[in-house]
A and B are shown apart, each in its own frame.
With several copies, the nearest count.
Chain A
Amino acid sequence: MDFSNFNGAEQAHMTKVLEKKQMQDFMKLYSGLMERCFMTCVNDFTSKSLTGNEITCVQNCTDKFLKHSERVGARFSEYNAEQMQQAGP
């Protein structure tokens, strides 16, 4: 995204839009992660409480998903920077 041809008011507006979108994204990432780890790790419904194995699995699943998402984000940024440079001045 290139906002350089935006005036001050337009940049301020887009910053607000971006902030709202980032909050929504974070919530969606959170609930998506939770659903995914629940579906993968929890398979025993003979009791109401999580087993020790399920707890470990959910914690690892969460850690791994966040690291995965961070790594993909890094590659995504590099790619966008490259694209910007090729389009550049």
Chain B
Amino acid sequence: IRLDRDGANIDPAKMEIATAELDMITDVFNRLVTSCHAKCIAPGNSTRYAEGELLKGEAVCIDRCTAKFFAVNKLVSERMQTMGGTAQVTGSFGR
């Protein structure tokens, strides 16, 4: 247990978990941005980047892509719990 300047308690374990959660959210967000960019922006353009605006079709695609990404997130997370994935995966590292 650490005391900060004002004498309040900081629980290091709690901070570590919150930081890990934050890292996870950021990682997922970054992959979401990249994946939906690849699905909705990059491929449909035969004339590459002729305009800087989001086209109507691109905007609609982004909304659907985002919704499907969250659904896959949920699906994979459930699947890994069913398979007892955590134990298998970290266990497989051979340490």
Residues on A facing B (Cβ under 8 Å)? 1, 3, 6-10, 12-14, 17-18, 20-43, 45-50, 54-77, 79-80
- A24 to B67, alpha carbons, bound, how many Å? 26
Contact B54 A67 (CB under 8 A): yes
Binary interface encoding of chain B residues 14-38 relative to chain A, with 1 for a CB under 8 A from any of its CBs, else 0: 1110111111111111111111111
Contact call B38/A39, Cβ cutoff below 8 A: yes
Which residues in B have some Cβ–Cβ distance to A below 8 Å?
Answer: 4, 6, 8-11, 14-16, 18-42, 48-54, 58-73, 75-77, 79-80, 83, 85-86, 88-95
Query: A64 and B15: CB pair below 8 A?
Result: no
Provided the pairs A45-B64, A64-B41, A67-B54 are in contact, do residues A22 and B48 lie with their beta carbons within 8 angstroms? no
> Given A8-B6, A62-B76, A64-B53, 12 more contacts at CB 8 Å?
A14-B18, A18-B95, A21-B26, A23-B20, A41-B72, A50-B68, A54-B68, A67-B52, A69-B92, A72-B36, A76-B29, A76-B66
